[in-house]
Amino acid sequence: MKKILLKLLLIFTFMFSALSFGAEKLFVGTNAEFEPFEYLKDGAIVGFDMDLINEISKIIGKECEIKNIAFDGLLPALQSKKLDIIIAGMTATDERKKFVNFSDTYYLAQQMIVLNSDAKTNIKTFDDLPGKSVGVILGYTGDVAVSEIKGVNVTRFNGTGAAIMALKSQKVDAVVLDSEPATQYASQNKELVVIETDAAKEEYAIAFRKEDTQLLEEVNKALKILKENGKYQELLKKYNLIKE
């Protein structure tokens, strides 16, 4: 009798572990140097995007595992199936759309210029950047935008923190960065100021492999639900992302 019970127990354990293996797990890539969308707090990856993907995964009934990697490694990792989804304040650009699909837009941002508050560089718009040394982060839309301006001495950094540090230590005259992290940095460092520009609006969206159309649809449906039930609005408020 005991033996039979033991066998049954073994079979059940096996079945359960098989089941949980079967439950689809999604590998979600981000780059947690982009407050308030994703950043590290006491060793944990937190932020608007993390809460959003968490809510989405509850709705679509899939478990998510977050991977924190360099921003310019995200798209290659998605293509090579190391990731299934990217949520990283990523702008849905036409260039990226050639390789991946994007969800519906979940946030609108734009590029801004960060300066030292005591700088005498006279930078007021993008037109003032030629002749200046400007820090950008490798692969960000800010990198693309600044690289297109002739005569700018561009320095590319591996992460947002490194670019801001170089600015503070006057190694570059300015850093071009997305509006929300730029304002965050300025609000946390009195020695930094942010200049709004007339740069085009950028649409943040979640990225998928081209062939994963079903997953894309599920996520879009979940986004719609969250926008309708107030949860999305609540998260915007939580991270001070509501604009007047």
Q: Which residues bind ligand ARG (CB under 6 A)?
A: 30-31, 33-34, 38, 71, 88-91, 140-141, 178, 202
State in angstroms the smallest separation of the CB of 141 from ligand ARG.
Answer: 4
Least distance between ligand ARG and beta carbon 36 (Å) = 11
Q: How far is the CB of 89 from ligand ARG (least distance, A)?
A: 4
CA–CA distance, 31 with 70 (Å, rounded to integer): 6
**Which residue lies nearer to ligand ARG by CB, 55 or 202?**
202
Residue number with CB closer to ligand ARG (163 or 226)? 163
**DSSP element (H, E) containing 26:** strand 25-30
Polymer length of the chain? 244
**Nearer to ligand ARG among residue 90 and residue 206 (C-beta):** 90
Q: Work out how close the CB of 220 gets to ligand ARG at its nearest, in angstroms, rounded to a whole number.
A: 19
Work out the number of other CB atoms within 10 angstroms of the CB of residue 167: 26
Instruction: Decide whether 11 or 40 has the Cβ nearer to ligand ARG.
Output: 40
Nearer to ligand ARG, 13 or 40 (CB): 40
C-alpha distance from residue 197 to each of 51, 123, 142, 201 (Å): 29, 11, 12, 10
Could you give the count of Cα atoms lying within 13 Å of 119 in the half-sphere of its Cβ? 26
In whole angstroms, how close is the CB of 129 to ligand ARG at the nearest point? 18
Q: How far is the CB of 230 from ligand ARG (least distance, A)?
A: 26
Positive or negative: CA dihedral 222, 226, 232, 234: negative
- Nearest alpha carbon to residue 192 among 120, 114, 123: 114
Q: Closest CB to ligand ARG among 154 and 225?
A: 154
Q: Which is nearer to ligand ARG, 71 or 185 (CB)?
A: 71
78 and 211 in contact (C-beta within 8 Å)?
no
| H or E segment and range at residue 74 | helix 71-79
Beta bridge partners of 65: 27
CB of 195 to ligand ARG, least distance (A): 18
**Tokens representing 131?**
């002749």
53 touches 237 (CB < 8 A):
no
